[in-house]
A and B are shown apart, each in its own frame.
Chain A
């Protein structure tokens, strides 16, 4: 028992206490807010926005943004020892996927639009690659904040954070992409969200391994 105690005493110095998950989530959501503003400001909004019901566009947008923020708060909370709730996080994760699927179905039923023939490849490239790239800054910032804590289940925490970042970007991307065809949405939009989630899990796992090697 002596050696650990002595090692700690030799290294004893004041530390800055970690902020609460909600406060830290504000930082991550601030970065995500920039991404949310970038898409309509830089790329504009979908051409058929006026023909669609406001609920279908902004209701879905709001739902996704609020849920994504919840996911980020949950990830930051789970990164603190003793406050993790893995079952709740797993349910939240499944809920995030369910929300994307529900919004996809509702928008397809309310306003069906499909891709023009021969544009599948270009659309896939645009609607998969761009959200992944736009999602990286909020994801990396969230992962940095997670790394500042001490996640005991880094892969789960990273996956939840990645899903949160993915949903935020997807919410914004839906105001730009006019296609509501489920095949397009699932193979590009949802795929981008899942890739961000997997990247979050992998990065958080690697980060925890590296930081705990000492």
Chain B
């Protein structure tokens, strides 16, 4: 490290030392955007590196597991997802860029355009609320990479465990109604979104993410442009003041801080629609195999899955007690038809009681009461099956280069004492 200061690495070290020795306000003036974030941090924090342990995120419960703080990515431990409707402070966060600095709700607009729109049309938030009929649905959103952590060989990126999923009650308008107001040409096959978040590099010409869905998904009655979650403003980190919500598909389809929708005559080619992002091999591959971009297919409906939300893993009970278990199950565009549990590592399965979905794409509750035959270490496994007869695997499903769609059954550890 004794090299010339003209070296780029050394320069950035200098800059860093300089920052640490300067007051916050003068740093702000010198550096602009870096410090916009930094100004809100307690004094003394290591501003550039953000290496300090972030203990809570705005509007979020302090017990969420923070995987990354720039951009913010945080998941919810399963035992905190016990509510039928996931509260805003428990809803996971998967950001690709930096949320907008300032949200001016009164002047927020949504533009509908694109080559397959008959005309470009702009709505204010107030117009969306007054011109279109409002709907409320419970819709499940799950990150395409939920469960990535378990893949072997490991996949790059945020190592999501179990909790990048939630089901909230969303209020807004049907995307279908808004698209029809703009008018769609007959060659329309896809929609894409743009949001007000900014690329991590700060470059205003770069989009952090711009994905979308085929027209048939966009036209479903539960496909929404939403401004409220659980009867309140959507949390800042989840897209306030406006976002798309497509239940059952990778949550990255549901654009946040939404300000533009384009109607496309081809598959939308925005950032993270192409290459390997949110894609899996069209045909299954051996673990670790390299897959060419053209052999990767876009993920659509998510697979059947379930979570045990009570009890928390690591529970101890006595042999004289019966253990109630409960949780949620969901299945992308399908409905879950049964949930079973096993206490003998999958050798035998027993049925759980389960509820129908409140509406399409809402997760479904299950419960059971377990009697353990003798003392010892147990694992309780839950396995959901959808209405097509497709179940969760007990070991990892098909390996894929980016580590998507791990729906292996959820397991919790229980000890039964005398």
Q: Do A and B bind each other?
A: no
